Structure 1
Amino acid sequence: MNIKSLLLGSAAALAVVSGAQAADAIVAAEPEPVEYVRVCDAYGTGYFYIPGTETCLKIEGYIRFQVDVGPDQVNGGASGNQGGTSDWDAFTRGQVQFTAKSDTEYGPLTGVIVLQHNGDNASDQNAILDSAYIDIAGFRAGLFYSWWDDGLSGETDDIGSPVTLHNSLRYQYESGDFYAGISVDELEDSPYYNGEVPNNEGVAVGIGGKAGAFTYQVTAGYDFDNEAAAVRAMGTVAIGPGTLGLAAVYASDPGAYYNAAEWAIAAEYAIQATDKLKITPGAQWYGNYGTNVVNLAGFGPNGSDADFGNDDAWKVGLTVDYQITDNFYAKASVQYLDGDNIDDVTTGYFRLQRAF
């Protein structure tokens, strides 16, 4: 075999091998398109589309550190209890809220879940469902705070229910700066008296709105088991460097919607000293202060006989809010309470809170 034949044969063999490899070559598949998170601006800032859906989601919350000061503090912030031997108690709270919204033929469909965890120390902690409800076309159903949870901006006023988080069914009409609504509330963990048991219900109504620099709210409720009605009026108006707030409340008997006194009036003036500093002095007067109610409220199986009595009381306080930087706040509050046939008491707290 001559060299020419050898070269021709080698070239033919290489061509055959090359053809086979070309036929069997593996072609890499193109990557599938990735669906990045899209901003949803239909419901305000902070919402984004859940990938693969047309539902908008917003995640927000806060981290709070607080030191409560007052007589006989124990787990004051985490569980709201007293009866210890210390005059101060520190606690930390973490809260996160998920809000989901989507368009329907009935208007926006909203779902809210609020999870809260309170820690008095490493071993004494409690996690709660702070709210969870469905909202559509003005109807709301689930676990949420009632209108009786509202109050003035400071910390002095005592014009709300002792328990304001209920399983409820509510309808609220809204038009511009006006709203009106009615709710049916399960008052299962609210105060009960006179031999009643914790299986209670109530009806509350609320109207409110804004007119220029003036805001107003009227709230009423009837507690069926305790046969107690309560009504409250509240308003604010911008005057000078701050906002004046006034409120009045009346209760026919101790009940779930109000049990601090037969009647009370409260006032405050929230001074916006700077863009970051707000100073709010406040005062309240209690007529027929509920000494028997406050001390003997039947949260256990033996609901006590309760009445408001004939004693009066008064309260003054000061609250200072300061924005350290964006989403980081400090608050300090001190309150003084005195009245007929009760010992005067001074309480307060200092709080740091980071919101997101």
Structure 2
Amino acid sequence: MTIRMMLISSAAALAAVSGAQAADAIVAAEPEAVEYVRVCDAYGTGYFYIPGTETCLKVGGYLRFEVYGGPNQKGTSDWNARTRAQVQFTAKSDTEYGPLTGVIVLRNNGDNSSTTTTLDSAYIDIAGLRAGLFYGWWDDGLSGETDDIGSSVTLRNSIRYQYETSDFYAGIAIDELEDGYYKPGETANNFGVAAAIGGKAGAFTYQITGGYDTDNEEGAVRAMGTVAIGPGTLGLAGVYSSGPNSYYNKSEWAVAVEYAIKATDKLKITPAFQYYGNYGIVAGDFNKNNDAWKAGLTVDYQIVDNLYAKATVDYTDADNADSVTKGFFRLQRAF
């Protein structure tokens, strides 16, 4: 075969191969653009846009370790340890009525190897209207851990409306009192009506809260206030209950005082005192002529950013009962 024929044959073969490859070629798909998480600064720090939406999401919570001491903390034991993990999801988006907010709080309490997860809060909030499972105004208290001027159960399925500005708020709520106080022989699945006003004026803050239990046909009212004085904040509170009910049932009346001393930027020391009139419940009514008093001390210390320590102890002396000393130590890491 001549060189000329070899070149012609090779060229024909290459053309045939090239034609086959062109017919069978695979076209690679264009890569899709990746949408990175964007920071959402419209509602404060910590929010980010959920990819592909205009909804802002914030994830937070805390880890807590506690050791309690006092009579019968765990069965007949005088001490008990507990670990808690809590996470909160807050979603916000703009609407023609203002921000639409959704909150879900999950809590897991580990008292031993068997842990318990609960729905601690879950509610919808828009234009001052809130509906769902959340803590009401009767969960509020003074800054220490020794006051006892609120409901024994404050997490309820409720619907409320609250008007608020930067210095004032007022609202009304309807609460399901399924876990509240009920008289002997009855069951608790009634409802109550609560209302509150509060705000601040300079160094002074205040709150007035009322609640009426429709099943027990009893109500309670409470007033609290704080004012910055010297190196700390003075807190005063008073509560009155017409009879045992789901909003207040510790005593017919009580007064509490505390002084939260800011010793340093990281250390706060809060001594407190409370007095109860007609303390306790007997046969569905307050225990007449049985008074009590409580004194306590709480110490808060910020170890580093987002890591806190708290220790508290209190002593309660009732007229017709043994005195009780109890307290706890806590470490908490917030995020």
Both proteins in one fold, TM over 0.5:
yes
Conserved in 2, the CA contact under 8 Å of 1:196 and 1:226? Answer: no
**1:124-171 per-position Cα deviation (integer Å, ceiling 9, x unaligned):** x32211111111111111111110000011011110011111111100
| Structure 2 match to 1:42 | 42
Q: How many residues align?
A: 335
Q: Tell whether 2:323 aligns with 1:333.
A: no
Unaligned runs of 5+ in 1: 75-83, 294-303
| Residue type at the aligned position of 2:43 | Y
Offset, 1:15: 3.2
1:53-132 map, 5 Å? 53-74=53-74, 84-123=75-114, 125-132=115-122
How big is each residue's C-alpha offset from its partner over 1:209-248, in whole Å with a ceiling of 9 and x where there is no partner?
A: 0111111100001111112111100011111111111111
- Tell me whether 1:352 sits opposite 2:331 in the alignment: yes
Matching of residues 7-46 of structure 1 within 5 Å: 7-22=7-22, 24-46=24-46
What is the Cα deviation at residue 311 of structure 1?
1.2
Residue aligning to 1:277: 267
Q: Which amino acid aligns with 1:341?
A: N
Query: Given the two structures, how large is their TM-score scaled by the length of structure 1?
Result: 0.91
| Residue correspondence of structure 1 range 294-313 to structure 2 within 5 A | 305-313=284-292
Q: Which of 225, 237, 255 is the equivalent residue of 2:245? A: 255
Secondary structure, counterpart of 1:188 in structure 2: coil
Q: Which residue of 2 aligns with 1:296?
A: none
| Structure 2 residue 195 is the aligned partner of structure 1 residue 197 | no
Which whole-Å CA distance do the structure 2 matches of 1:10 and 1:222 have between them?
A: 101
Counterpart residue type for residue 43 of structure 1: Y
Kept after mapping to 2: 8 A contact 1:251/1:259: yes
| Structure 2 counterpart of 1:155, from 135, 145, 148 | 145
- Counterparts of residues 177-216 of structure 1 (less than 5 Å): 177-216=167-206
Cα deviations by residue, 1:14-50 (Å, 9 ceiling, x for unpaired)? 2332344245433322210011111111111111111
CA distance in 1, matches of 2:71, 2:179: 26
Q: Deviations over 1:177-234 (max 9, x none)?
A: 1000000111011111153321221110000001111111000011111121111000
Is the CA contact (8 Å cut-off) linking 1:217 and 1:233 kept in structure 2? yes
- Read off the aligned partner of 2:316 and give its amino acid letter: L
Q: Is the 8 Å Cα contact of residues 156 and 316 (structure 1) preserved in structure 2? A: yes
Work out whether residues 291 and 319 of structure 2, in 8 Å CA contact, stay in contact via their aligned partners in 1. Answer: yes
Aligned identity (percent) is: 76
- TM-score under structure 2 length normalisation: 0.96
Equivalent residues of 1:196, 1:225 under 8 A apart = no
Q: Would you say the 8 A contact 1:253–1:308 is kept in 2?
A: no
What SS class does the counterpart of residue 285 from structure 2 fall into? coil
Checking the alignment, whether the CA contact within 8 Å between 1:194 and 1:306 is kept in structure 2 is no
Deviation string, structure 1 residues 281-327 (Cα, Å, up to 9, x no partner):
1111111212x35xxxxxxxxxx533232111111100011111111
1:321 aligned partner: 300
Residue 133 (structure 2) aligns with:
143
RMSD: 1.4
1:211-250 pair list within 5 angstroms: 211-250=201-240
Amino acid at match of 1:256: S
- Contact kept, 8 Å, 2:224 with 2:237, in 1: the verdict is yes
Would you say the 8 A contact 1:289–1:313 is kept in 2? yes
More displaced, 147-156 or 222-231?
222-231
Counterparts of 1:14 and 1:51, CA distance in 2: 50
Gaps spanning 5+ residues in structure 2: where? none
Equivalent residue of 1:254, what SS? coil
1:78 is matched with which residue? none
| Contact kept in structure 1, 2:279 and 2:286, CA below 8 Å | no
Cα distance in 1 for residues equivalent to 2:86 and 2:199:
29
Aligned partners of 2:258 and 2:272 also within 8 Å = yes
* Whole-angstrom distance in 1 between the partners of 2:12 and 2:225: 98
